[in-house]
Amino acid sequence: MENRLFDLTGMTALVTGAAGGIGSAICHALAQQGARLALSGTNPSKLRSFREELNDTYGHDHVEITCDLSNTEQVEHLVPAAMDTLGKLDILVNNAGITRDNLAMRMKDDEWDAVIRVNLEAAFRLMRAATKPMMKARFGRIVSITSVVGATGNPGQINYAAAKAGLVGMSKSLGQELATRGVTVNCVAPGFIRTA
C-alpha cells in the first residue's frame, strides 16, 4: 500500500511555470497525491511532453494550457480555461517567475516592468480570478512561490525582491479576506534550488 502524506484524489490544480525546475517538482508531488492538473507555461511542446510524462506516470488525464503571463489578456483567460477543462479549481499554485537582474542605478524601466508584470501582477490576476469559485465552493488552496530574497533583499535584484515581497503581503491580505470561507492562502519561500 502506497504511503500518502495527504490525499488529493478528486482535486484539481492549476500550476504556472509547470514545466520548469520547481514547477515540475510541484506537479509531480500533486499528481502523485492524486490531483488532476492544468499545466501552464509558455512553451507548448515542453508542456505537452511534460503532460504526457505525468499521464504515463500517474494517470488522471492532465491538461496543458499555454499562457504568457506577461500578456494580461492571456492571464485573464487562464483560470476560466483551467475550470473549463478540469471542471473546477481547488488549488492554484503561482509558481512562474522571471528575473531581469541589474543594479538599481542601471535598471531599465522595461526590466522593472517585466518582472513586476509576470511575478506580481499576473499572480494577483490569477488569485482574483480563483477567489470567486473557491469562495462559492467554500474550499480552496492558493500557494505562491516567493523567495527568501523577498525578505532579505539581494544586490542586482531590486525588481525581483520587490515582486516577491509583494506576493507575501498580497497573500497575507487575501488570506485574511478568505479565511472564513474555507480558502487558505500561503507562500513558500525557497532559497537557491539546484535545477537545470
In a domain, 195, yes or no: no
Which pLDDT tens digit goes with each residue over 132-160? Answer: 999 999 999 999 999 999 999 999 999 99
Domain count within the chain: 1
Whether 160 is catalytic is yes
Tracing cell 532559497 back to the chain, one arrives at 191
Which pLDDT tens digit goes with each residue over 77-106? Answer: 999 999 999 999 999 999 999 999 999 999
In a domain, 180, yes or no: yes
- The enclosing domain of 48 has a CATH number of 3.40.50.720
In a domain, 193, yes or no: no
In a domain, 196, yes or no: no
Give the domain range for residue 86. 12-188
How much is the pTM?
A: 0.95
Compute the distance between CA of residue 192 and CA of residue 196 in angstroms, rounded to an integer: 12
Determine which one of 18, 35, 37, 160 is catalytic: 160
